[in-house]
Structure 1
Amino acid sequence: MKARTDTKEKIMELGTDLVESIGYPSLSYQQISSQLGIKNAAVHYHFPSKESLGLEILNTAIGSFEKMISNISSLGLWEQLDTFFKSYRKHLESNNKICLIGASASDYQELPESMQAAASEYLVLVKGWFVELLREGREEGVFHFKGEPKHKAAVIVSALAGGLQHARLVGNLHYDEIVEQLVEDLKP
């Protein structure tokens, strides 16, 4: 049973990597099986359809995000923000991948409905976390910004996802400059 679990985890890891680097529409079980040195049947055993794999990738990312925010909830607000920015930047350190939210948005019309719903849920979750962080930060005088927290959260989430995509074109410094400006815009 352990070998099946290891294989499933390897399929998930490679599937996630491929979605973040080439997109869901370009993902194929043949790529996965050949890169892992397994038969296509082994991929189908764990994920009967490409949709089931894609949905599991998104649901796993949602669970990982929820775990991360739970783990950092005791940190100061700036530390929570910094931790998120650093976790997001890791995409750039792995061959200029983009986040699953950005990849899902780019491929939205080609995603099955179940994946569209999961991707939307993921974005709503991340944006909601930012809204609460910003609201609390402004109330405590830690963050300063004009407008509503939900609007500022939308700007931040969009800037980060877009920054990862644009970094593919002009280099990782572009993403770092975006984060630096977002931080500056929140300082009291």
Structure 2
Amino acid sequence: MLKTNPTGKAVDILNAARMLMMDRGFNGFSFRDVAAEVGIKSASIHYHFATKADLAEATARTYRQDFEEAVAHIEATSAPERMRAYGALFVTTLRDQDRLCLGGVLAADVASLPEQVRAEVRQFFAEQTDWVESTVREGQKSGELRQDLDAATYAKMFVSSLEGAMMVSRGLQQPQDLENALDVLVQLSLA
């Protein structure tokens, strides 16, 4: 496990692992694949990450932290606008990078993930649903969002729906479908 903030070659390794995992999942990449992307020998990866599980954990953690930082910088003023801006993070990943959310990709592989990676996946989704739930509660308090929504249930449905719509949209090669799904999800919450 990488114990400090990654720098230099470790960052290159993490970035390559992230892209490979977003495309192929945990089971679809190897140290050899990462090494080829970075331009090093696969044995060199062991200097920074002893095992594939350590590399996947560090990759999932940095993705979670980067996503958390992006969410923290959402500057929309109304709850519906914040929810749209949140969903736009998914839309941008699919439309601009033709990739899926790493959290969703790893969740699909959860049965074969090492426990340390599962823990990162659980934390990713806990943080995301907590943020959406908080936004829903604020929107209900301000009268922007429906009072009859159970905020915790809606938050889980919102995040789950974005993840699923992202996968289906990519599978159909129709990224606009994700944007349409986001619009419907927000519309369903409006007062």
The answer to whether the superposition gives a TM-score over 0.5 is yes
Residue among 173, 176, 180 paired with 2:176: 173
| Equivalences for residues 120-159 of structure 1 within 5 A | 120-144=122-146, 146-159=148-161
TM-score by length of 1: 0.90
Helix, strand or coil for the counterpart of 1:66?
helix
- Measured against aligned partners, the alpha-carbon deviations of 1:44-90 in whole angstroms (never above 9, x if no partner) come to 11111111111011111222233233333684433322321111212
Residue among 117, 120, 124 paired with 2:119: 117
Poorly superposed stretches of 4+, deviation over 6 Å: none
Helix, strand or coil for the counterpart of 1:132?
helix
Q: Which amino acid aligns with 2:103?
A: I
Give 1:25's aligned residue. 27
Query: Bigger shift: 89-98 or 50-59?
Result: 89-98
- Residue pair 1:96, 1:164 contacting (<8 A) in 2 also: no
Residue among 39, 42, 47 paired with 1:40: 42
Give 1:187's aligned residue. 190
- Residue pair 2:78, 2:139 contacting (<8 A) in 1 also: no
Matched, 1:55 2:57: yes
Give 1:14's aligned residue. 16
TM-score by length of 2: 0.89
Name the CA shift for 1:70/1:91 in 2 (closer, same or farther; >3 Å): closer
Give 2:98's aligned residue. 96
Q: Tell me the CA shift for residue 94 of structure 1.
A: 4.7
- CA distance in 1 between partners of 2:133 and 2:76 (Å): 17
Q: Which amino acid aligns with 2:133?
A: V
Name the CA shift for 1:127/1:174 in 2 (closer, same or farther; >3 Å): same
Q: Which amino acid aligns with 1:13?
A: N
- CA distance in 1 between partners of 2:54 and 2:120 (Å): 12
Give 1:66's aligned residue. 68
Note the aligned Cα RMSD (angstroms): 1.9
Q: Tell me the CA shift for residue 138 of structure 1.
A: 0.8
Q: Tell me the CA shift for residue 5 of structure 1.
A: 2.5
- CA distance in 2 between partners of 1:180 and 1:163 (Å): 12
5+ long unaligned stretches in structure 1: none
Q: Tell me the CA shift for residue 14 of structure 1.
A: 1.1
